[in-house]
Structure 1
C-alpha cells in the first residue's frame, strides 16, 4: 500500500537494506541511492582485505571494534564520570596491559530474534520507559496533546526520535541528568492527517529536533530510573533554532562565522572528562532546498557532502519558514552544519558550542579518552559509504582540578585521518597495521593547497588528498576503558565488491541475508551485515599515530560462511546485523546496538566479551519494538541499569497516524519514540 503523503512530504526513495523507504528518505535523504560523494579512488577497506580473501577463500579474522554512539556511565561527580570515559576510573584504573580490572561473565538469557511490537528483555529483568516524545522538559511545558500541538509547546517538550543518550551525575546520587539527541522527525506518524498546515508542521519539526537535558531519579535502590516530575533548573531543550557559538579556526572564515542557529540530524556523541556532552551532526545535507542557482565556487564542496546543487525541495521544506535553509538565498548556511556540538548540561544558560577543530562531516559520534600525557583524544566516524575514520588530539592537557580550564581544549590540536594496511600474512586473520595521517593543526595545514579553515570546512576533500582508507559506513568509534583498545562499528556497505573493491580490512564481496524472519538465507552482493573493528594503538597511547588492527566481528547469521565471532563457536552465538553504536560495562564487555537488521527480525542490543574464553560470544540482550532502531546503548557506572533509546517505532512505508504499524510504548494509539531502562529484578549487575 502506498504511503499517504503529508503536504510537506514529496516522495520516497529506494530502500537500502532492511530500512523502509520512509526511514531512508527522512533520516538520511536516501544517501545510499545517490552517487557516492567520495570519488577519490583512495583504497577501500575491502581492497586491504582482498588478496587475503582470495587466498584463504573462507573468512577467518581477528579482533575488531564497534562505533560508539551512546556510551558512558553514572558516577557521583563530574571528574569521576570523566575517568570512566577516559582511563577507566574504577574500571581498570587505566591499567590496560593484561586486561586489568574485573571480568564479569555475561550470563543473561538470550532474547531470540522476533518481530514483536514490544521491548523484549531477558528472563529475570524488568523494563520501563523514562521519557518519551512530548513529555514535559522545561518549566511551563503544557501537557502533550497531539491534536493541539504548537511549535512553542514542542520547544519545551521532549523531542522526536531520541538517539544518543548520556547520563551525567549530580551531587545527590539518587538523581542524574539525562542528555539526549533528537535526530529527525517523521511527519507521517506525528500528525493526524489534515490537522495541521504545512507551515505549522515545519515549525513543530524544527522544535522537535535538537537535544534535551532532563533530570531523572532512581527508584529506591534498584536499577529503575524515571523522569523527575518535580522538574529541575537543569532541564533544557535545544532545537533547530537555538543560538550557538562557533569556535575554533573555522569560526574566523566568512563561510562559517562565529554564530550559528540550531542543530539537527544529531546522531551519536560522547562525554568529555569535564562533564560536557558532545553531539555529532550527521545527515545535515537533507535539510536544504535550492530554489535557483548556487555559487559556482561552492558546487564541488556541496557535491562532496551530498548537498543539492540544482533546484531541489527537501522532504521538510524548512526554507518556507526559515529562509536560511534555501541555499540560493543563503549559500553559506550549509557550512554551519555538520559539526560536533558541545553542551554543558550543568549550565542551562551557557550557549552551546560548535567545535570546528573537530572537522565538518556527517558525524556519527565523538567519543573521548585521555592520552598518556593527559591530553584529550576524540574519535570520529563519518557515516557514509566509503568515508573515513578520524581522530583529534588536543594541544593542551586536561586539568582535573579546574573544570573551566578545559573548555577550550577542543579548539586547539591536530586532526588526523586513518590509513589501514593489511599484513597479507597467511595467519588466518584479517589484520594489519595503520597510521593516523595528520590533516591540520589549529595553526598549520598539512594538506597542500588548503588552509586550516579549508581543511576543517571541507575535511572530506582534504582527507581525499592524503590517501586514507575508505570504510564501510564508519559509525561510533570508542575506546574500551578496561583493555584500552578502540572499537569501531562499520555498519554495512551493499556496494562492497562492486563500486568498492575488497581489501583485508573490508573483506566481504558477498554476504547472507533473510527477506523475512524464518526465510532461508540468501547470498547477496556486498557487505550487508557489517563489521566490528578493533584497534590497538602503539603503547596503548591515544596520542600515538601508529596502530594495529584486526576484525573482531564479521556480523551476520552464524549459518553464513562469511561470519566470524572473534574465534568463538558459531553454533553458540546470536545472529547480529548492522552494528551501529557501542558501549562498555564495568568489566569491559562490549554492548552493541543495531540499525537496519537484514536478517528479518527486529533490531536490538547485543553483548559480547572482548577477552577470555568467551571472547566473541555474541548474545542478544534485548530487542526493540517493530519498525524501531536500537539507539544507545548505555550502561550505568554501577552496572545496574542498561539504557536504550527506541527510535522510530513503527516506521513502515504504509503507516500513518491513523493506521500505525506500532503503538509502542502503548500509552496511546500511535507510537512515541522514547528512552527506556532495563534492570535485574534481583538488583544485580545487568548482563552478569
Structure 2
C-alpha cells in the first residue's frame, strides 16, 4: 500500500480518543470521558493482552443521485437485522398486516449459511465530503434531521426550533437502524432508529455557549434525543426506499427524552432506588437518553441501549455521601455542581438536578424495548438486563428455546454481559404467542464475562503473535443474578441490577477495552464484539493496566474484534472459548492481524464500533473515530474459507461523520446506513459548517439507502 493512501490530512482531531475524534465529538458524545480517569478502580485483572489523491488517481465518477461517488466496486451487503433466532421465524404480529415479510425475515439468515467470497473492489481511504458508494450503485437520503415524522409536524426551521416542533420531527444524530417489514409484500416497511445525542454547536444558528441557549432551545435539544418510527415505501421494483408522505401513517412516532413515558419492568421495578417525588411508584420514567446501538427481537420489537446518560445530570456534589461512590463508578461528577462538560438541562427540568432528585439518575442506563407495530404501546425499560452504559443488546434463541441477549458496556476497562430469559420463546405469530414473547426480557439470569489466557507470558504489548499463532483463550460467564437470587455476597437483586458495574467488580469480571456492539452471528452462531480502542492501556491513566493476550497492544489506538464460541453451542451455558480474528489498524503496521490473510490486500480499518452479518454470515464492521485520519466507513470480510480475513472497505461517510446502523434486508436489495454527526470537527458551527452534507447548506445527520442500479441484489 502506497504512502499517499496511508497518510491523509488531519480531519480535526486534536488528541482526544488517541487523536481520532474531534474535541467537539468528545464533548457532546460522552462528556469528554477519555479526559477523565477511567471509572473502574477495581483491582480485577485487566482484560486485554494485548486519501483524496488516491481517489482522484483511480477516477471519481458520479452515480445517479446527487453526491454519490462510485469507485470501482462489484457489490456487497452491509448489516442485517440483529438478533435473528435460529430456527424461529420472527412473529411480527400485532396488527395483522405487520407479520414478517419474505425477504426481510431475519431468521432466514440461518438457513442460507455458508461462506461466500466478497467480490467487490475495496474503496480507498479518503476525506471527501460525500457518501462514497460503488460503481453501479446509487444512494438516496431517506430522511434527515428535522424532516416530518408525525403527520402535521411544522416545517423545519433551525432558527425557531421548539421542544414541541422537534417532538414531531426526525431527531438528531441517528445511530442504530432497523427496517422491518410492514405487511406481507415487499414494498412497505417501518424504519426505526435511535437519536443518540445532540450537538448544539451544529444545531442552532448563532450558537455561542450552552449557557446562552434559550430555554426553548434546550427543550428542543432534549426532544431531539430518543427514537423515530417512520413508514417507508419501495420505489418501483428497485432497491430504493423513500418516506411515505401521504395518508394517515398511523405507525409514525417520535419517542423523546422530553415527554414519552416508559414503564419499568423486572425485579428492580418499584425499588426505593428508582422512586422519586414525581414517581413514588418507581415504575414510570419520562424519557430515554443517549440511545446508541440496539437490536431486533425475533418477535418484532426494537431493543435500544441507553449509553452516555451520565452527562445530562448535575448537582452530584450535593447528593448524600453514601450515594457518591455509585455516581463516580458511572462517570457522574460528585465534586462540582456544574461540571465543565454538563448540558445544564436542569434549568428547564429539575429532575436532572441530583441534589434535588438523587435517584433520578438510576432510572437511566437500561435496555429499552419499543414495539413499532403498536404505536399506542408504552415503551419499557428492562431492569433484569442490568444498568450500565449500554451500547445495545442483540438476541439469539438458544437451542433450549430461551432467549439470550449479549451486551457491551462502552467504557474503557469495563465489561461484557449476557442475559438468559427465564421463559422460553413461543413460536408462531398468534396474538398469544407474541404477548408471551413481549415478556421474555422481564425475568432471567444476568452474567458478566471473565476471560483466561493461553499465552500470557509471551505478550509484550506490541501486538506480536504468541508462538501458538493466535490470541485466544477460554472464559466463564460469572452469574450476577441467578434463578431470581443475587449471586453477589451482601447484595440484593435490586442493588445488583441498579449498580451492575459495581456488582461485576465484586465478582471479578475481566476489564475490557470499550466493548461496544456485541452480536451473535446467525449463521455460525458465534458471538462477535467490537472493542473500539483504549489508548489508556499500559499508561498511568490506565492505572497501570498492561497488555495481555486478549488485548495485545498497549496504547490501543485502533481497537480489535473479539470472537466468542459458547461451549457445546449452548448459549445458555457458562463457559466459552475466545479468539481475536482482527487486530485493527494500518495493515502495514506489524501489530495488526487479519486472520492470517495477506495484509498487502487488506483495507486499513480503525476503531470498530458496530458489527453485523449478511445472509452468508460474513462479518460487517462500521467504524467510529478513524485513528488513521481518513473518513469512517463500512467494511466486510468472510469469516471462513480461503477469503477469511480479506477485509475490504465498502463505503465511506462524509467528513467528520461516523458510520452507524448498517442494516440490510435479506432480499439483499438495499443497504441502509446512518450518517451520524457529519461535520463534527473542532471549530465548526452551524454558521461555519465543516460539512455541508447532505443538502449543500449545513450538516444534517440522516439515513441513507444504497442499491444496485441494475436491480440485482447487493453482494457477491
1:101-500 correspondence runs (5 A) = 101-171=113-183, 172-193=185-206, 197-230=213-246, 232-241=249-258, 242-256=260-274, 257-290=282-315, 293-313=318-338, 314-401=341-428, 402-424=433-455, 426-441=467-482, 443-498=484-539, 499=542, 500=545
Distance, in Å, in 1 between the alignment partners of 2:173 and 2:80 is: 14
Give the structure-1-normalised TM-score: 0.89
CA offset at residue 296 of structure 1?
1.4
Deviations 1:365-406 (A, max 9, x none): 100000111110000000000000000000100012310111
| Change in 2 beyond 3 A, CA 1:442/1:541 | closer
Q: Secondary structure at the residue paired with 2:362?
A: helix
Checking the alignment, whether the CA contact within 8 Å between 1:285 and 1:334 is kept in structure 2 is: yes
Q: Secondary structure at the residue paired with 1:508?
A: coil
Distance, in Å, in 2 between the alignment partners of 1:36 and 1:608 is: 33
| Change in 2 beyond 3 A, CA 1:405/1:302 | same
Q: 1:530 aligns with which of 559, 562, 577?
A: 559
Deviations 1:496-527 (A, max 9, x none): 12222211111112xxxxxxxxxxxxxxxx11
CA offset at residue 614 of structure 1?
0.3
Distance, in Å, in 2 between the alignment partners of 1:357 and 1:450 is: 15
Checking the alignment, whether the CA contact within 8 Å between 2:81 and 2:296 is kept in structure 1 is: no
Are 1:686 and 2:686 counterparts?
A: no
Checking the alignment, whether the CA contact within 8 Å between 1:640 and 1:680 is kept in structure 2 is: yes
CA offset at residue 73 of structure 1?
8.5
CA offset at residue 539 of structure 1?
1.8
5+ residue gaps in structure 2? 1-12, 51-78, 94-98, 275-281, 456-465
| Change in 2 beyond 3 A, CA 1:363/1:635 | same
1:44-59 correspondence runs (5 A) = 44-47=46-49, 49=50
Deviations 1:425-452 (A, max 9, x none): 8411111111111101362000001100
Distance, in Å, in 1 between the alignment partners of 2:364 and 2:696 is: 35
CA offset at residue 91 of structure 1?
2.2
| Change in 2 beyond 3 A, CA 1:85/1:466 | farther
CA offset at residue 636 of structure 1?
1.4
Q: Secondary structure at the residue paired with 1:645?
A: strand
Q: Secondary structure at the residue paired with 2:232?
A: strand
- Tell me what 2:65 maps to: none
| Change in 2 beyond 3 A, CA 1:484/1:534 | same
Deviations 1:37-80 (A, max 9, x none): 10112111224x5xxxxxxxxxxxxxxxxxx9974789996288
Distance, in Å, in 2 between the alignment partners of 1:192 and 1:215 is: 30
Checking the alignment, whether the CA contact within 8 Å between 2:84 and 2:107 is kept in structure 1 is: no
Distance, in Å, in 2 between the alignment partners of 1:182 and 1:91 is: 28
Q: Secondary structure at the residue paired with 1:129?
A: strand
1:83-94 correspondence runs (5 A) = 89-93=107-111
CA offset at residue 200 of structure 1?
1.5
- Tell me what 2:45 maps to: 43
| Change in 2 beyond 3 A, CA 1:505/1:467 | same
- Tell me what 1:570 maps to: 599
Q: 1:20 aligns with which of 7, 19, 22?
A: 22
CA offset at residue 641 of structure 1?
1.1
- Tell me what 1:671 maps to: 699
| Change in 2 beyond 3 A, CA 1:597/1:216 | same
Distance, in Å, in 1 between the alignment partners of 2:245 and 2:26 is: 35
RMSD over aligned Cα atoms: 2.3
Checking the alignment, whether the CA contact within 8 Å between 1:367 and 1:380 is kept in structure 2 is: yes
CA offset at residue 14 of structure 1?
6.7
Are 1:78 and 2:109 counterparts?
A: no
| Change in 2 beyond 3 A, CA 1:678/1:595 | same
| Change in 2 beyond 3 A, CA 1:599/1:418 | same
| Change in 2 beyond 3 A, CA 1:21/1:81 | farther
* Higher alpha-carbon deviation: 634-643 or 481-490: 634-643
Checking the alignment, whether the CA contact within 8 Å between 1:44 and 1:506 is kept in structure 2 is: no
CA offset at residue 123 of structure 1?
1.5
CA offset at residue 81 of structure 1?
5.8
Distance, in Å, in 2 between the alignment partners of 1:70 and 1:626 is: 27
Q: Secondary structure at the residue paired with 1:476?
A: strand
Q: 2:582 aligns with which of 543, 550, 553?
A: 553
Distance, in Å, in 1 between the alignment partners of 2:103 and 2:468 is: 35
CA offset at residue 229 of structure 1?
1.3
- Tell me what 1:617 maps to: 646
Q: 1:505 aligns with which of 517, 529, 550?
A: 550
CA offset at residue 304 of structure 1?
0.5
| Change in 2 beyond 3 A, CA 1:72/1:392 | closer
Checking the alignment, whether the CA contact within 8 Å between 1:445 and 1:451 is kept in structure 2 is: yes
Checking the alignment, whether the CA contact within 8 Å between 1:412 and 1:442 is kept in structure 2 is: no
- Tell me what 2:665 maps to: 636
Deviations 1:339-378 (A, max 9, x none): 0010000111111000000100000010000011111000
CA offset at residue 271 of structure 1?
1.1
Give the structure-2-normalised TM-score: 0.86
5+ residue gaps in structure 1? 1-11, 50-67, 94-99, 510-525
